[in-house]
Structure 1
């Protein structure tokens, strides 16, 4: 089985891959922006653009916090 991933929110690109033998496409940003993607595609509705702000805020671990864990 071949699974393709990466920028496949572009439906033409996803369809081309499936036509070339890919068994399944994995959707990341496209599905996050369009949780109703299958319904939108069947109805011919336009897909919403991905808004990266939904991924924030980012929680970074500082070196000082790592040192606390190790008792330094």
Structure 2
């Protein structure tokens, strides 16, 4: 049997579609969940500079970098 090789442009197109279709589906689901109010914006992290020095310890016992 003599098989004709596939056109490289078609192969490249399928590769791009294979990557883009799941990405577009995930972005669409995320958009819908935000519109329905099931996902909210992340809260602003607290400012560690306002903490007293004795409360600036991490769980491992070390000091937070940059806290004075």
Q: Same fold, TM exceeding 0.5? A: no
Q: What is the TM-score normalised by the length of structure 1?
A: 0.29
Q: What is the TM-score normalised by the length of structure 2?
A: 0.30
By percentage of residues, which structure has more strand? 1
Which structure has the higher relative contact order (CA within 8 Å, separation 6+)? Answer: 1
